[in-house]
Amino acid sequence: MLSECLVLNEDEDFSFHPQLLQMTKLAERIERVKETIASACARSRREVEDVRLVIVTKSAGIEEIEEVVRLGFNHLGENRVLQLKKVAGQVAEFLQQHADDSTMPKTVHWHMIGHLQRNKVRQVLPTASLIHSVDTLRLAEEINGAANKLGLRPRVLLQVNTSNEPQKYGVPVGAATHLAEQIETLPNLQLIGLMTMAPLTRDQDVIRTCFARAHELFCEMRGEKIVGPQFTELSMGMSSDYEIAVEEGATILRIGSAIFAGS
């Protein structure tokens, strides 16, 4: 279970903004997800406000995404760069059309949650507010160089392979601290936390072990001051395992199918 290392980033809005226009099937599924998060927070003695829900839109149509935005959710995630650019453009147009609607978010924060190739970095930087999937020094250096040319300083997470699965991206746990130290030397990006993925398994003990190891590493890096005070985020937990992720200290959840399936 979760140890005493909980962090709240006071510069961000962690609220869910539950402005329900009508209880559609999609809205009902979002409510169920929120209730599950709240229950997991209560069991682990956490505040719901400590956990941000990033809604992953890769399986959704634009009408469903627009409904999510209408409901007040403004942290959305995509796995692929081209899809992120396309959907972000559509959502930006939608927001512009409803600029006078005070119940709608003024902007949407896009999360790049999938594997990022170095040759796609320049395309993603102007759109993504947070890149979850930095797992090599070469990728970090590419982001640093491109950000310098674009006049940006993007926020990134270090992806760690806590499951030791060879097919998964992510730096091995044993090499994560050294890579974090190297990334910290790059001036044009901000390392603000870790990301991990658990195996696709029904064995909850295996899932919990992966998340607990990520949280332990997160606390070690902070405690040993390997990272700066901006290092506050732990992105882990998807539709099949987010309840366990909350119990083990996640500050960001990446949930798609639990919300959009069957829409």
List per-residue pLDDT tens for the chain, 263 residues long: 554 454 444 444 444 444 444 579 999 999 999 999 999 999 999 999 999 999 999 989 999 999 999 999 999 999 999 999 999 999 999 999 999 999 899 999 999 999 999 999 999 999 999 999 999 999 999 999 999 999 999 999 999 999 999 889 999 999 999 999 999 999 999 999 999 999 999 999 999 999 999 999 999 999 999 999 999 999 999 999 999 999 999 999 999 999 997 54
Note the residue count of the chain: 263
Q: Set out the domains of the chain in order of their start, with CATH numbers.
A: 25-260 (3.20.20.10)
Task: Give the per-residue pLDDT at 261.
Answer: 78
Cα(138)–Cα(145) distance, integer angstroms? 11
Cα(130)–Cα(193) distance, integer angstroms? 10
Task: Give the per-residue pLDDT at 103.
Answer: 87
**C-beta separation of 109 from 76 below 8 A:** yes
**C-beta separation of 55 from 6 below 8 A:** no
Amino acid at 111: H
